Amino acid sequence: MTTFSVKFLGCKVSHTDAQAIRERLLADGHVEADDGDIAIVNTCCVTHEAVRKSRHASSRAARTPPRVYVTRCGANLAGNAFAALPANVKVIARRSEETADAIAGDAGATSCVNAESRLDRVRAFVKIQDGCSFSCNFCVVPLVRGASRSRRAADVVREIERRVAQGHREVVLTGINLGCYRDREAGFRLHDLIAAAARVDGLARLRLSSIEVNHVTDALVETLRATPVVSRHLHVPLQSGDDGVLRAMARRYTAASYLKRVGPLRDDFNLTTDVIVGFPTEDDRAFGNTLSVLREAGITGVHVFPYSPRPGTVTADADAVPPSVKKERSAILRAVSRDASMERWRRKVGSEDVVLVDRRGRGYDDDYSPGLVDAPAGEPGKVRARDVSEEGILAA
């Protein structure tokens, strides 16, 4: 028997990859422990800062356990960002589908097999798709995760059934570019999968991790609106609200087409987004255009990513905007985001909603607004919003 720990950095897809490794080692009879024989660090490389943090986490992990596996996006990055780590660190540069097997093969199986693992949260992330075939000029993800590919719909539904049986009440369908989801054999696109997933007994809420604006189709919106278990939250990356910057990024839409697809959803969906600040061609006017689109689209939450050039991408050698300007624009966006989310929360005061409590005292309501409630984790509860604070909606 080997003891192990798994840590991940980065996005929800990295979380599902870490989960797959963890479950595979548990199924092979190994035991999870903080200071185990093996440490696995699932790394991220989406920005320079993410690589720095991944390298730091890997070198910290290498202090005690005899074996450390450094895996996923950072490990697949051109230039071998983890080359200088101690000799007990092994870099596993494999596709996500192969990583758990590679580590499990190295660790070996025991005769004592744990059939199931109970995850510790009310929310489970279920990967339905990996990779991306879009090639945005700044993005390293297609280089480290490969082209888009999808899981079979039947396998996804089976995993959701298993998560619900484990006690999870909410499932987040997760992928790098969810709208590319296809199960050609079953004839399923994303909206078909959502409809099938929503029929799983005992599932209280179903959410999409994020969706590119080109994939916010009429068929998708119709399915989301017609399916009660689907959360009224959509995360639709904008990256910039300026057409010149969007062109330089090789994004596949304009500010106007983003607004055309997303604008009509602002009343019944809570809309959040990603924005890159300080892209090489972003001047003050372009940044102003981003602020206008955010306002017009009714976006209530912005994940801000200060631009950093990534190796192997089209813009790898370009970084014209000074760090101080990136910092200033980031602060402006974060303030806009905070004000917009509090404004949405205020509009809910007096109304009732179902909050799924994630950990004692805190959960999320139907549109993914945070609710502060006096209840233990696990059960959904109907609550009335009585006030707001900087952390969320205070519920009675």
Binding to ligand SF4 (CB under 6 A): which residues in 290-319?
Answer: none
Q: CA 60, CA 50: separation in Å to the nearest integer?
A: 15
Contact 46, 13 (CB under 8 A): no
Shortest distance, position 154 Cβ to ligand SF4, whole Å: 26
Regarding 176 and contact with ligand SF4 (CB under 6 A), the answer is yes
Q: Which of 10, 65, 74, 142 binds ligand SF4 (CB under 6 A)?
A: 142
Contact 181, 147 (CB under 8 A): no
Please say which residue, 96 or 177, places its beta carbon nearer to ligand SF4. 177
Shortest distance, position 31 Cβ to ligand SF4, whole Å: 35
Q: Which of 62, 136, 355, 388 binds ligand SF4 (CB under 6 A)?
A: 136
For strands 362-364 and 352-359, give the pairing: antiparallel
Q: Which of 73, 141, 336, 355 binds ligand SF4 (CB under 6 A)?
A: 141
Rg (CA), the chain: 21
User: Which of these segments, 127-135, 256-264, 290-298, 316-324, binds ligand SF4 (CB under 6 A)?
Assistant: 127-135
Q: Is the dihedral of CA 331, 337, 342, 347 positive or negative?
A: positive
Please say which residue, 58 or 240, places its beta carbon nearer to ligand SF4. 240
Shortest distance, position 326 Cβ to ligand SF4, whole Å: 18
Binding to ligand SF4 (CB under 6 A): which residues in 182-221?
Answer: 212
Q: Which of 11, 41, 89, 139 binds ligand SF4 (CB under 6 A)?
A: 139
Shortest distance, position 212 Cβ to ligand SF4, whole Å: 6
Q: Which residues bind ligand SF4 (CB under 6 A)?
A: 132, 134-136, 139, 141-142, 176-177, 212
